[in-house]
Amino acid sequence: MPADDMGDPKNITEKTFQEAAKASGQSVEEAKKNALKILKRQIGDKE
């Protein structure tokens, strides 16, 4: 549920990625891929 902020607008939603993409001049997909890359690095996934 990409729009469900679970009752707190500070949670990450599709809108978060849209805003990040716009701010960095990327597509939403690129913003998501970059976030995933960072998260994998932080949790130790070496895909």
pTM over 0.85: no
What pLDDT was estimated at residue 2? 85
Asked whether 13 and 5 are in contact (CB, 8 A), the reply is yes
Residue 42 sits at φ, ψ, to 5 deg, of -75, -30
What pLDDT was estimated at residue 47? 57
Full DSSP string of the chain: -TT--TT-TTS--HHHHHHHHHHHT--HHHHHHHHHHHHHHHHT---
User: Which residues of the chain have a pLDDT value below 50?
Assistant: none
